[in-house]
Amino acid sequence: MTRRPVIAIDGPAGAGKSTAARNLAERLGLVYLDTGATFRALALKAIREHIDLSDESALAALAERSEIRFEGERLEKIFLDGEDVSEAIREQAVANASSAVAVHPTLRAGLVELWRKIGTRGGVVLEGRDIGTVVFPDAEIKFFLDARPEERAKRRFSEQSAKEDVTIDRVTQDLKIRDQADRTRQHSPLRRAEDAIAVDTTDLTPKQTLDRLLEETRKRLN
């Protein structure tokens, strides 16, 4: 590869963004950055400290006294105040809380700067909700992954049922709430960038999704 691009992958929960981004970064020898993990880390700390998720000033103060960093060969682990919270942030309660945290522009501004600092030299795959529209609008390659709601709910249920006691109905409802919050928030809502490549992953395996992303990436880099 002659260039080390910034690759943005956006989409709703359960669309397969995280798996696709990790796989694509590994195949291309790039760094993978899960931007949503930073919101989850703050949400986890807010839950632990019983902070009102609607209190932007309290959350901003919390962020000010929190240290969030990525570690690992490809930045695959996230640390909060020195604690590896890579697994803890995947709990459903934390995921739901992160959507409430993400609506606050003060918090988003600080985290966006963190992501840009990591990705400014290129050679990185970032996934989230507004990477191609806000964080890196000039990214060399942009994807928007989506899937039918029932398929996304089924995937989330498969992930969560192995760790906690949940029902498919609860997961489906949680997903609807999160979709609504992500798409309608005032600042940086979830939407497809005009120049993003749309990929419907409903009927695709992770390998098939990766193959599609690799094909499109190589077209644009050659």
Domain ranges (residues) in the chain: 6-214
CA 206 – CA 49 distance, rounded (Å): 37
User: Could you read off the pLDDT of 114-172 as tens digits, one per residue?
Assistant: 889 888 888 999 998 899 999 999 999 999 999 999 999 999 998 888 777 889 999 99
| pLDDT above 80 (res 95) | yes
Q: Residue 2: pLDDT band by 50, 70, 90 thresholds?
A: low
Average pLDDT score over the chain: 90
pLDDT, residue 112, reads: 87
The stretch 176-203 carries a mean pLDDT of 91
Structure pTM?
0.80
Give the contacts of 173 (CB within 8 A, at least 6 positions apart): none
Looking at domain 6-214, what is its CATH homologous superfamily?
Answer: P-loop containing nucleotide triphosphate hydrolases (3.40.50.300)
Is the CA virtual torsion 107, 110, 114, 116 positive or negative?
positive
CB-CB contact of 107 with 42 (8 Å): yes
